[in-house]
């Protein structure tokens, strides 16, 4: 089984203040996945900014351009076609309905929404790094359109202690010490899933 390393370096992307609506596809434009974020758990703005910047780089290294926006409050009809909506929630509506190890869930049937359980993510140190990987993992499920998991790396079903250790940020360089990896099969499925999503 072969893996491709994801090189990480935070960009200056800010989650807050993104209001401009730009074309997602064009004759010369690179296909772009639009991701909306609803901060229903009132996650710290700086934690969000760092998490979004890292998630953006994770996908850029997988060949996927992402554009992150604040979710509109006018309902799902306001979201762009092909976009994904991430809801940062305090926790599951029913704790017993979700595995105690799950940090988030992708709504596979509708293929558009990710629910992140902040009460579980914040149990870990360096929450912005963990949040970035959680968002990348669940977005990948929606792009791939299947509930597959890898044995190691970003798409592992449940991360172990050593995986969280790898996610932890270098305080000086602001990047994970040992970035997690995508399998080559994951990369192929991500790109094909994005292509299909944007031509619907």
Do you know the residue count of the chain?
200
Greater pLDDT, 165 or 138? 138
According to the model, what pLDDT value does residue 99 have? Answer: 86
Q: Render pLDDT for 9-64 as a digit per residue (tens, 0 to 9).
A: 333 344 443 433 333 434 445 679 999 999 999 999 999 999 999 999 999 989 89
For the chain, the average pLDDT equals: 81
Domains in the chain, start-ordered, CATH in brackets?
10-20+28-198 (3.40.390.10)
- Residue of 177, 171, 162, 134 lying closest to 43 (CA atoms): 134
Q: Render pLDDT for 124-156 as a digit per residue (tens, 0 to 9).
A: 988 999 999 999 999 999 999 988 999 999 999
Cα-based distances in Å from 89 to 42, 58, 192: 8, 23, 29
Name residue 150's beta-bridge partners: 156
Confidence class for position 74, pLDDT limits 50, 70, 90 = low
Confidence class for position 6, pLDDT limits 50, 70, 90 = very low
Q: CA angle, corner 190, sides to 59 and 97, nearest 5?
A: 90
- 2 in Cβ contact with 152 (< 8 Å): no
Q: E strands along the chain, which residues?
A: 3-4, 32-39, 65-70, 84-89, 104-106, 113-117, 169-170, 175-176, 182-183
């Amino acid at each position: 089984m072969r893996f491709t390393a994801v090189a990480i370096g935070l960009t200056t992307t800010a989650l807050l203040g993104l209001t401009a609506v730009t074309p997602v596809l064009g004759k010369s434009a690179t296909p772009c996945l639009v991701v909306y974020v609803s901060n229903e758990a009132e996650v710290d703005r700086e934690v969000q900014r760092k998490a979004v910047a890292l998630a953006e780089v994770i996908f850029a290294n997988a060949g996927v351009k992402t554009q992150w926006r604040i979710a509109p409050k006018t309902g799902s009809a306001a979201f762009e076609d092909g976009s994904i909506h991430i809801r940062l929630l305090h926790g599951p509506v029913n704790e017993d309905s979700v595995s105690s190890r799950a940090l988030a869930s992708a709504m596979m049937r509708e293929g558009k929404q990710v629910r992140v359980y902040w009460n579980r993510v914040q149990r870990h140190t360096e929450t912005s790094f963990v949040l970035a990987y959680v968002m990348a993992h669940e977005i990948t499920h929606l792009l791939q359109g299947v509930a597959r998991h890898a044995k190691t790396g970003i798409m592992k079903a449940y991360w172990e202690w050593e995986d969280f250790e790898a996610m932890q940020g270098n305080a000086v360089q602001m990047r994970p010490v040992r970035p997690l990896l995508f399998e080559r099969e994951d990369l192929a499925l991500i790109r094909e899933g994005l292509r299909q999503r944007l031509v619907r």
